[in-house]
Structure 1
Amino acid sequence: MEMKKRLTLELRNKKPGEVKELVLDNCRSDDGKVVGLSSDFENLEFLSMININLLSVSNLPKLNKLRKLELSDNRISGGLEVLAERTPNLTHLNLSGNKIKDINTLEPLKKLPNLHSLDLFNCEVTMLINYRESVFTLLPQLTYLDGFDADDREAPDSDPEADGDGLEDEYENGEEGEEEDDDDEEDDLDEEVIDDEEDEDDDLEGEEEEDGVDDEEEDEEEDGEDDEEDEADDDLPRGEKRKRNLEDEGEEDPEDEEDDEDD
């Protein structure tokens, strides 16, 4: 796809001034130059033109707010003074896989005071003796060269605002928060079930204790009645007591039988 058509597609009916990020990777540039971009993209902060057969950045418009520029896998060999003139606030520049051979080719970048990250992977210049020391000496404002500082300490993760990683992090955190909330709800439900079961057990134990008390009381009452009957029998005269015992056993008193015979 040609660069102009790709640019129109990326705009998606937006005005150039509304665009902050623009990716034109793998399209075809006309004559190896930047085509279609203008200073109307005044709020552009991130621009990526990877592998578009770019030979020069001479047609790059004035982009005062541009902070990150991706130009890897092209055929740029010089002309970097344009960047100093038209992207004065650049902080990240990726020129990996281009045709840069000499340290002096990078000298125009001294005019970019905010440039703190430069990538030159797979450029011939990286094969020079004392390459890293020479670049850090030439560009003292640099913090990272090819992902490492002057003391060989690796650079932290890239800028989330420029790469759009911030939105992904927020989305992931949101999901984790929902999962944590779900877990909390499940824990609360489990605790409620356990509490209900413990309450039921307590109620059952209480009922069993009450039943035991009632049974004991009934037994005590029956024993008391039997004792009263025994005490009453003890108070009867001897003859009456004997007669009652015989009646309980279903036998007649011999004295009564004698009375009947006399009659």
Structure 2
Amino acid sequence: MININLLSVSNLPKLNKLRKLELSDNRISGGLEVLAERTPNLTHLNLSGNKIKDINTLEPLKKLPNLRSLDLFNCEVTMLINYRESVFTLLPQLTYLDGFDADDQEAPDSDPEADGDGLEDDYENGEEGEEEEDDDEEGDLDEEVIDDEEDEDDDLEGEEEEDGVDDEEEDEEEDGEDDEEDEADDDLPRGEKRKRNLEDEGEEDPEDEEDDEDD
């Protein structure tokens, strides 16, 4: 909750698991006892840039046993004589004040767990893993589509070949039937063959006509 013109933390909900709270660049001047009541497990608290003027204003923070780091940059309280010694005496659980310990040793890089960096890395790794899985799935889908298209082409080619074979077989069968008919006609006696040819042409045999006249 940085730079939101916050005047107090009286409306802060109960957050038992909260470890790091950023309240810098607001207008908070007191009422820090709420933090002890609603965020009992704080380890890092940033109150820099607020309206805190007196050491006594920080006294409620004594009830935060896990508080390790406190930032009060740009607060008027930092201008007091013996400011650092007074704060370390008031809050013995503190390790770092404004980024330095009691021996003026600078604090190491921020705690990944407190900053949520570990969670952020896990989240980013999870996203990357999901993107890779999505890419793999897309690649598999593309391969399946290509395989399906190839199978369809093969099926079409197979059907065309089968159609061609069927047509050739039908032509061969028809030719065979014609040949059989011709061979059968050749086996007929000459007169019978002539009669059949005339019947096919729609003409009558003259001999039949003569027989009719005799009758």
CA contact (8 A) 2:43 2:69 kept: yes
Which of 122, 136, 144 pairs up with 1:192? 144
Per the TM alignment, residue 96 of structure 1 is displaced from its structure 2 partner at its CA by 0.3
CA contact (8 A) 2:20 2:115 kept: no
Q: Deviations for 1:208-262, whole angstroms, at most 9, x for unmatched residues?
A: 9999999999999999999999999999999999999999999999999999999
Equivalenced residues, count: 215
- Partners of 2:104 and 2:198 lie apart in 1 by 120
Unpaired runs of at least 5, structure 1: 1-48
TM-score of the superposed pair, with normalisation by structure 2: 0.56
Determine helix, strand or coil for the equivalent of 2:77: helix
Provide closer, same or farther for how the CA distance between residues 147 and 241 of structure 1 changes in structure 2, counting only shifts above 3 A.
Answer: farther
Q: Percent identity?
A: 98
Provide closer, same or farther for how the CA distance between residues 188 and 79 of structure 1 changes in structure 2, counting only shifts above 3 A.
Answer: closer
Which of 60, 74, 83 pairs up with 2:12? 60
Which of 129, 132, 142 pairs up with 2:94? 142
Q: Deviations for 1:64-101, whole angstroms, at most 9, x for unmatched residues?
A: 11111000000000000111111111111000000000
Provide closer, same or farther for how the CA distance between residues 174 and 211 of structure 1 changes in structure 2, counting only shifts above 3 A.
Answer: same
CA contact (8 A) 2:10 2:31 kept: yes
Which of 113, 120, 123 pairs up with 2:65? 113
Determine helix, strand or coil for the equivalent of 1:69: strand
Per the TM alignment, residue 165 of structure 1 is displaced from its structure 2 partner at its CA by 2.8
Per the TM alignment, residue 147 of structure 1 is displaced from its structure 2 partner at its CA by 0.4
- Partners of 1:123 and 1:116 lie apart in 2 by 19
Q: Deviations for 1:136-179, whole angstroms, at most 9, x for unmatched residues?
A: 00000000000000000111111212334336767999999999
Per the TM alignment, residue 188 of structure 1 is displaced from its structure 2 partner at its CA by 30
Per the TM alignment, residue 190 of structure 1 is displaced from its structure 2 partner at its CA by 34
Q: Deviations for 1:168-208, whole angstroms, at most 9, x for unmatched residues?
A: 76799999999999999999999999999999999999999
Provide closer, same or farther for how the CA distance between residues 154 and 251 of structure 1 changes in structure 2, counting only shifts above 3 A.
Answer: farther
Unpaired runs of at least 5, structure 2: none
> Which residue of structure 1 lines up, in the alignment, with residue 209 of structure 2?
257
> Which residue of structure 1 lines up, in the alignment, with residue 124 of structure 2?
172
Determine helix, strand or coil for the equivalent of 2:178: helix
TM-score of the superposed pair, with normalisation by structure 1: 0.46
- Partners of 2:164 and 2:54 lie apart in 1 by 102
- Partners of 2:13 and 2:188 lie apart in 1 by 133
Provide closer, same or farther for how the CA distance between residues 152 and 173 of structure 1 changes in structure 2, counting only shifts above 3 A.
Answer: farther
CA contact (8 A) 2:44 2:114 kept: no
Q: Which moved more, 1:168-177 or 1:107-116?
A: 168-177
